[in-house]
Structure 1
């Protein structure tokens, strides 16, 4: 996201300032021409627009407590664009705190994004916007440099974008749960897995369905690179269940997915891609975990030699 935005800023002779809690990540952006802030204080002092992208609510709360304090000390106004997947009460709290700073006109936009790291790299994210309408219009050109589509919720209520993101992610994890159950049933009943993938590609040609079904069959669920981890998945599904509870809604598919993800985390596999939830179903069906099956076959061949 940052490199795509920096590329655009360079084209109009502007420079982006970056800061990360892990300094080595900021250093990578220096090679793209960005200025690396010496500290979060330096970042706020130099910026009138600040994008934040963080892993969970705890990190967002921690960083924004610093940003809010620092925003009260500067002379210029700042538009904060929060892109993380967080619960709505936190977004509302941050927005209210920024609005309450005396003698300032800081603005908070909640703009979560959909897309895995390769999608972000290709500037094909889906953005969702909420907050001050004039600020969103001002920011749209920047959003476009990182996205293929922007969904405007047209509401000043930043909580609505949080709800939207959780529901969108529910469709993703619900699809994974469905694929995991179907593919496990297919193998257990003797149906060829690759034939099932061929059916999915023809009948349900959605990129996410194809990607996740291939991961589950080919054993790529244990890969950590460019994936979305079990730990992060549990955070999101936990938020979905809380939203359902707060809304008086039943969400049984999320309950199932949460149980299967939790089983993976309890085995110390929280860093695996969240599509590894299939292994909870495979275990219950007395099938080896995806990845282990291929290893077992190789070990048997070696023994026979």
Structure 2
């Protein structure tokens, strides 16, 4: 069993840390938010006053933070050539940021993986996340037993940064799916089509997607979807916008024309600007309904 420092105990990091504790690992955690610290402590995490202190006796440091700048600050505060460690960043950050961090960590004698996740808060709690991992194959094999505790699907995607690359691509697809699903549902409503009939046909036909079968943006057809809870987020619209901005930055860097990605990014930017960033990203259907 390992001693793990888990930095960032929020909606995603907290449940992930709790699953590591449940598997028998010692987890020393840190977060700047008191509520997150309290929840983590209740699940068996040893809550420590600083990130540096949490990492002091840890062989593995996992970061789950809002952006690449914060990940870099935390790693800088911990990184020491005298204490080589395995760093696993499960945050969603830019590909270039992940590659820069990997270079810094390896130069100091430690190992680094970028391992962003998909599956939302429910997946973090259930231990069913999908991990997409970039970094050396031997480092991936070292980390895989821990990732298997927190996720159902753990995929090595190649070189450092490739985890972030596939995360950007995946969430661009998801955003486009959620928007076109919302448009189709609203079109069906206006044509007099019952939501259940729509779901029964499309979920078993070529138009099916995770956006419908798991995250249907109308109540009752999928009882666990956020639409049944007034769009209390599993994955907030503001986070979707963040990921779309990363995808658009990558598209610009690689001279890739992402026509639908740009449209999705603009629609979610407008939705968040209107004050809906705290809702689940599937609430974009409300914006579609408002449009004539």
Q: Secondary structure at the match of 2:132?
A: strand
Corresponding residue for residue 3 of structure 2: none
The number of residue pairs the alignment matches comes to 272
187, 191, 194: which one aligns with 1:192? 194
Matched-pair contact (CA < 8 Å) for 1:222–1:276: no
Counterparts of 1:35-46 in structure 2, within 5 Å, are 35-46=46-57
Q: CA deviation at 1:278?
A: 2.0
63, 71, 77: which one aligns with 1:69? 77
Corresponding residue for residue 303 of structure 1: none
1:80 and 1:86 map into 2 onto residues whose CA distance is 15
Is 1:146 aligned to residue 150 of structure 2?
yes
Matched-pair contact (CA < 8 Å) for 1:264–1:276: no
Corresponding residue for residue 250 of structure 1: 257
2:248 and 2:228 map into 1 onto residues whose CA distance is 24
Of Structure 1 and Structure 2, the greater helix share is in: 1
Q: Secondary structure at the match of 2:131?
A: strand
Larger deviation: 239-248 or 76-85? 239-248
Structure 2 unaligned regions, length at least 5: 1-15
Corresponding residue for residue 29 of structure 1: 40
1:266 and 1:176 map into 2 onto residues whose CA distance is 18
1:84 and 1:170 map into 2 onto residues whose CA distance is 17
TM-score by length of 1: 0.81
Q: CA deviation at 1:80?
A: 0.7
Q: CA deviation at 1:197?
A: 1.8
TM-score by length of 2: 0.85
- Decide which structure has the larger Cα Rg and report it: 1
Larger deviation: 127-136 or 197-206? 197-206
Corresponding residue for residue 96 of structure 1: 103
Matched-pair contact (CA < 8 Å) for 1:166–1:240: yes
Structure-2 change in CA distance of 1:198 and 1:224 (3 Å): closer
Corresponding residue for residue 84 of structure 1: 91
58, 81, 89: which one aligns with 1:47? 58
Counterparts of 1:194-273 in structure 2, within 5 Å, are 194-203=196-205, 204=207, 206-215=209-218, 220=227, 223=230, 225-273=232-280
Structure 1 unaligned regions, length at least 5: 286-305
RMSD: 2.3
1:110 and 1:19 map into 2 onto residues whose CA distance is 20
Q: CA deviation at 1:206?
A: 4.5
6, 14, 17: which one aligns with 1:2? 17
1:118 and 1:146 map into 2 onto residues whose CA distance is 12
